[in-house]
Structure 1
Amino acid sequence: SVTMAICNLLNSRIVMRLGTRLISHGALSLMILVSLVHLFAIEVGFETLVSFAVFQALTLGCFGLATSNFSAMAMENMGRIAGTASSVQGFLSVTIGAVFGALIGQAFNGTTVPLVGGFLLAGLAALLSILVTERGRLFRPASTAPVRA
C-alpha cells in the first residue's frame, strides 16, 4: 500500500503532462511485465520473501496508477450523470474483483503462483478490453470531440 500511495502522489505530479491514457496504458503494460518476470522467478526457484515483497510492491504500484487513471477516464464524459456512473463503476469494480478474487482463492495450492498468475490474467484481460474498446489504440490520446451526457 505504501507503493500505491507513492505512485498516486507521483501520478498527481505527472498526469497533466503525460495524460491519463499514457499513464494508465503504461502502468498496465508494466504490471503485466512485472507479473511475467515474477512468474519466471517463481519457476526458476528465485522466490523469497524479499523478492515476493518487491514484486508485489511493483505490481501494486502499477495497479494503483492504472486504476486511478482508468477511473478518471471513465468519468470524463459523464456530466450530469457522474454520480450514477460512479456508483455503477464502483459496483462493477467490486463485483468483478470479488469474483476474480474468489477464482484465484480457489486456485490456491500453497504457492504464490495463483496470486501472481491472477495478476497476469487480470492485466491481460484489461489489456484485451482496452484493445477492443479503444479499437487497438494504445498510448494515444483520445479524440478531443466533446460527448454530451
Structure 2
Amino acid sequence: MTKQPKPPVAPVKPVTNDYFGTKVTDNYRYMENFNDQQVQQWVKAQADDFFGNDPRIAKNDPRVAGILLGINTWTKFYSIYEYDSQTNQLTQIQLQPQGKYDAPDDLVAQEIEVRSHDGTMIPLSIVHKKDIKLDGSNPC
C-alpha cells in the first residue's frame, strides 16, 4: 500500500480576546478572512491534497479544471468560489448575488468556550456589533 502524504498544516497565528475577564486565544481566527492570500494558498493546498491524493475522489467532469468551494460564516452569506488549479486562481462566482443584508460590515463573530455546570467546556458563538464593549453592560 502506498503511503499517502500528509495534508498541509495551517499556520498558528494566535489572537487573544478578553471576554468578561476571561482571556480566550484563537489560533486560527485569520482563516475567517478569505481575501487573505495565505488563507487562499492554504485552501488551494487542501484542495490539491484532498482531490489529488484520495483514490475515492473522482471529478464529475474531467474536461473541466478546478473545483467549487462553498464558504459561509456567522456574518457572511454563503458564497461559492471557483478554484482553477491550472491558473492557481480563486474567484468568487455570482451564482447567488450578495443581498443588501448578506455581509454587514458592523458585525463581528467570535467563537469562545464556556464552562458548563459540570465543568465541560461548551462552544459558544457570539455575534455582536463591532463597537460594543463586552464588559457585561450590554445584555442581549
TM over 0.5: no
Q: RCO (CA 8 Å, sep 6+): is it higher in 1 or 2?
A: 1
Identify the TM-score tier after normalising by the shorter chain: under 0.3
**Structure holding more helix per residue:** 1
TM-score when normalising by structure 1: 0.26
TM-score when normalising by structure 2: 0.28
**Structure holding more strand per residue:** 2
